[in-house]
Structure 1
Amino acid sequence: MMSIATLTLNPTIDVAYEVDHVFHTRKMRTSAEYYEPGGGGINVARVFVRLGGSARNYYLSGGATGHALDGLLDLHKLVRSRIPIEGHTRVASAVLERDSGKEYRFVPAGPTILPGEWQQCLDQLASAQCDYMVVSGSLPPGVPDDFYGRVIDLMRGRGIPVILDSSGAGLRGGLDRGGLLLVKPSVGELRQYSGQDLPDLAAITRAAMDIVEKGKARYVAVSMGHEGALLATGDRQLHLPALPVETRSAVGAGDSFLAAMVFAMSQGWDIAEAFRFGLAGGAAAVMNPGHDLARPDAIRLLYERMPSMEQQHRA
């Protein structure tokens, strides 16, 4: 069984509530209160382990909320390597308004990381034991823009492939270093990275292929919300439409997509089939409330219901 390690520089305690209606000023009594460990890499690990894989979480944690995050990870029985920081771990909130079905999400920037803290993170990663390193999430304040590039250098020296899911400076810093196995931007993140509007599928495909052709990543998987997802490789491009499911929450959909795709890759699946499994993972996540992520039974059911590659090609 192949294993992954995940890196989450800016983890969260994800809090989810429900209210009948959102009002300004007025105190609103909530129900259905949930607390979960969150942040890109942690979310990926949660789904990867649910699917039957093995994952170790590297993450920064500090303050009273940092101790609470540690406890939540232990409740989920996730293997963890904590890098202590002075700042307080952030708390993100998702509020579902039952009357409208709309979800409101509040996400802080996160604590400022000191140079000694992010250097300690690199020191710990230098001895990570894994088959894939999954680097996921935003860069918190204080971390250099090329930090993910430094992680890529560390892993490259040890022959460990790196998978990146980030935005802004984190995405750019990783892609500028190049040599990634897989990068998974959303279409909005790809627009920001490329500096182009990318108004249609053809433009999105060209931008993704540009990353592949320049050797920045072997595979590019672009999540496109209700428009599905795109896979770009050295010899093919594959666009899959979104699966028709009822959307309850978008929280963790991209992380569930990535976890399912990487799990399939770790099982030796063809990259196109792994991509299809990832799409099923993302769809399974949006069917759940804001506190949850994709569940294995739902992922596999959606995957089995998808048209085969031959049927999609004929279509």
Structure 2
Amino acid sequence: MDKTILTITLNPSVDKSSSVLSIIPEKKLRCNFPKYEAGGGGVNVSRALKRLGISSDTFFTSGGRTGRLLEELLQAEQLDLVPFHIAAETRENFTVLDTSNNKQYRFGFPGELLTQDEQNKILNSVKVTNPFPDFVVISGSLPAETDPDFMKQLVNTCKSKGSKVIIDTSGEALKTAVEEGVYLLKPNIGELAFLVGKDKLEEDDVDRAAQLIISQGKAEVVVVSLGSQGAVLFSAGEKIRIEAPPVEVKSTVGAGDSMVAGMISVLVKGGNYKEVLSMGIACGSATTMAEGTGLFTWENAKHLFDEIWK
């Protein structure tokens, strides 16, 4: 029987994307019709899992007019939604493509603070989930000014229920989550350096940093994203590096979330770590082939997986 999954997004968004012939300062820019899509780390993981034929419960905060639009967008994708309503307005992000040079500009907004009462209710809502999922994915940023310790409390709540926690965030929220200890961690090199107290890491240092985190019991699996160069997976007894397949990159929005979804899609079925990393890279790379804020298609992900796996 496949394992169950819950994704948690504390700072979701509605992502608006458009394109314009040329971005010029001080000039009124005539953009093409915008496209609206649901965004935010865990939300995107659930959306990507759906494309892989895997269901997950999608827990996310939702507030105001934008929150209602977010829920409508997710309902249209037929996800299993667990919205948690808050007082503040859900944020929007904006992405615009300059078609004269094919450069993409991404504008992200911080998201308003969760009140202490809302934070307590979120922890309780997660805690009383029944049956509790086998895997919990906590992905994306915290709203502005939210105490990073809240992330630690959330990880602790999920671990206390016997769930394997997968974390994909950044900054102090990432550090506090890792201090609590997680099952799988997906940093890039800069985030890994931050976790071990370094300004930067050379390639040889990446191995030592990842193994240090594992030896300290802060993660069982560390997957270091190398962007267009692929990724490397570390566990207590393995190191697996896989190059990313060459693709025409149209947008990097959602690529990291798609990578997480690809990895989980194998973990829930009991696959080995080589297959986990291969599917993660395939889904992440396939998403870069999509325009704007779109995610991968199953066909592209399967094709790239077969290329990597052969």
The counterpart of 1:196, out of the listed 172, 195, 198, is 198
Q: Does 1:233 align with 2:231?
A: no
Counterpart-to-counterpart distance in 2, 1:32 and 1:201: 43
> How far did residue 204 of structure 1 move?
1.3
1:210-263 deviation digits (Å, cap 9, x = unpaired): 111111010001111122211111011122222211110010000000000011
The alignment's C-alpha RMSD in Å is 1.3
Deviation at 1:296, TM superposition (A): 1.6
Aligned-partner residue type, residue 236 of structure 1:
E
| 2:286 corresponds to | 284
In structure 1, distance between residues paired with 2:293 and 2:235: 33
SS in 1 for 2:6: strand
The question of 1:168 aligning with 2:171 is answered yes
1:58–1:82 CA contact under 8 A, matched in 2: yes
Q: Is the 8 A contact 1:83 1:120 kept in 2?
A: no
How far apart are the structure 2 equivalents of 1:212 and 1:100? Answer: 43
- The one-letter code sitting in structure 2 at the alignment partner of 1:275 is L
Q: Equivalent residue of 2:284, what SS?
A: helix
The whole-number CA distance in structure 1 between the counterparts of 2:48 and 2:229 is 23
Deviation at 1:6, TM superposition (A): 0.5
Segments of 5+ residues of structure 2 without an aligned counterpart are none
In structure 2, C-alpha distance between the alignment counterparts of 1:252 and 1:188, rounded to whole Å: 18
- Matched-pair contact (CA < 8 Å) for 1:205–1:230: no
Gaps of 5+ in 1: 309-315
**How does the TM-score come out when normalised to structure 2?**
0.95
Post-superposition shift, 1:86? 1.3
Q: Which amino acid aligns with 1:116?
A: D
Q: What amino acid sits opposite 1:259 in the alignment?
A: A
The answer to whether the aligner puts 1:222 opposite 2:224 as a matched pair is yes
- State the partner residue of 2:81: 80
**Alpha-carbon distance, 1:294 to partner:** 1.7
Quote the residue 1:95 is aligned against: 96
Secondary structure of 2:252's counterpart equals: coil
In structure 2, C-alpha distance between the alignment counterparts of 1:227 and 1:66, rounded to whole Å: 36
Q: How far did residue 306 of structure 1 move?
A: 1.3
Give the letter aligned to residue 164 of structure 2: P
- Residue pairs, 1:283-302, within 5 angstroms: 283-302=285-304
1:289 to partner: Cα distance: 0.8
Select between 197-206 and 36-45 the one with higher mean Cα deviation.
Answer: 197-206
Amino acid at match of 2:85: P
Structure 2 counterparts to residues 46-195 of structure 1, below 5 A: 46-128=47-129, 129-178=132-181, 180-195=182-197
Partner of 1:208: 210
In 1: Cα distance, 2:261 partner to 2:224 partner: 14
Q: Structure 2 CA distance, aligned partners of 1:64 and 1:152?
A: 30
Percent identity over paired residues: 35
Native 8 Å contact 2:190 2:201 kept in 1: no
CA distance in 2, matches of 1:190, 1:98: 34
**How far, CA to CA, are the matches of 1:194 and 1:160 in structure 2?**
25
Conservation of the 8 A alpha-carbon contact between 1:164 and 1:174: yes
Deviations 1:23-63 (A, max 9, x none): 11222111152100110000000011110111111111112
Q: CA–CA distance in 1 between the matches of 2:218 and 2:80? A: 30
Query: 1:79 offset after TM fit, Å?
Result: 1.3
Aligned equivalents of 2:137, 2:288: Cα separation in 1:
22
**Mapped partners of 2:201, 2:142: distance in 1:** 28
Deviation for aligned residue 1:201: 1.9
Check the 8 A contact 2:86/2:118 in 1, yes or no: yes
SS in 2 for 1:45: helix
